[in-house]
Structure 1
Amino acid sequence: MPQHKLHFEERIQAPVETVFDFLAEHQNFAALFGGHCTRIRVGTDPAEANGIGSVRRIGPGPLSFDEEIVAFERPARIDYTIIRGGPLKNHLGSIRLTPTADGGTALDYVIRFDGRLPGLGYASGQALSLAWKRSARKTLATLER
């Protein structure tokens, strides 16, 4: 089964620190896809509850899956991977934020994954892309001045 890749880019008219703080909150991150989540484990750094080692649960009951934060570099980078459940394997989500010349933020977000079964990776990618198109811009617009 081939590895799938989704790539999302956005320009947000808000400072990079503001965007990072927003995305570091698990509930805000899930809202980019129209979802909800709960933090089930705090990170290893007491000052960054949602940092490295933090785990969020996304989705309801038996359909839920858990993602662990594996890289957290304020204010530029958040990486996460699925550690339990869901239709994906070999998953890595990588968010990069860079300041723009006008004081805004460039968001570069790549998700790489395989499906657990043939065709499941493709279907999951389509669903994620649709969810992003429906929710991300509207969610990120709440940060803009």
Structure 2
Amino acid sequence: MELVNIKVWVNGSAAKIMPVLLDHQNLSRFFSARFAVLQSAAAGQPSGGVGTIRAVTSMGKTFNEQVIGLTETKLTYRIVGAAPLKNHLGVIRLLPTANKLVTELHYVISGTSSNWVPTALIGWLLRGDISKAMAKLKDHFDAD
């Protein structure tokens, strides 16, 4: 089930935005969560790339996310181990626009509740948090 589907237009290229998204230990400046890198990227991957596992503490819960796919314009991750969501998948795409100085960031999260909390409620909470985070990310690049 799709829980989050948000688009935001960011002043900057994918080459400028992706390293910020891969700087896991500093994502708290955008998201209302704490992040700690538990495992570095696999050999041959950029810092924060495929294989990276980060502990995320949000809304009183801690869970681990692993980067499972990375290109210059797409970041894919999933929750591993004990999780508030089953079949979780997060995908961030950085899409070019007609204005070469602006990139469309498209963030989609899918999954279903793994416990008694309704999936719709989790989606509502996630949409609020991700919307605020994307506004902060946009502001970060607007300030550059």
Contact in 1 for aligned 2:3/2:126 (Cα 8 Å):
no
Return the offset for 1:15. 1.6
In the alignment, is the contact (CA less than 8 A) between 2:3 and 2:127 conserved in 1? Answer: no
**Alpha-carbon deviations, 1:16-72, whole Å to 9, x = none?**
211111111113445443212011001113451311111000017x82100000001
Change (3 A) 1:109 1:66: same
Q: Distance in 2 between matches of 1:84 and 1:97?
A: 28
Q: 3-state DSSP class of the match of 1:133?
A: helix
Question: What is the match of residue 65 of structure 1?
Answer: 63
For residues 29 and 42 of structure 1, what CA distance do their matches in structure 2 show?
16
Greater shift in the superposed pair: 23-32 or 63-72: 23-32
Structure-1 separation of matches of 2:128 and 2:43: 34
Cα deviation for residue 99 of structure 1 reads 2.1
Q: Is the 8 Å Cα contact of residues 51 and 72 (structure 1) preserved in structure 2?
A: yes
Q: Percent identity?
A: 23
How far is the alpha carbon of 1:135 from its aligned partner? 3.1
Q: Structure 1 length normalisation: TM-score?
A: 0.86
Q: 1:17 to 1:40 in 2, by over 3 A?
A: same
Unmatched runs of 5 consecutive residues or more in structure 2: none
Opposite residue 64 of structure 1, the aligned amino acid is T
Q: Give the structure 1 partner of residue 81 of structure 2.
A: 84
In structure 2, the residue matched to 1:22 is 20
User: 2-side partners of 1:58 and 1:66: how far apart?
Assistant: 6
Deviations 1:106-140 (A, max 9, x none): 11111110111354322211111111233320233
Q: Indicate yes or no: 2:7 matched with 1:9.
A: yes
Q: CA RMSD in A?
A: 2.0
Q: 1:71-119 CA distances to partner (integer Å, 9 max, x unpaired)? A: 011x201000000233111000011102222221111111110111354
TM-score normalized with structure 2 length: 0.86
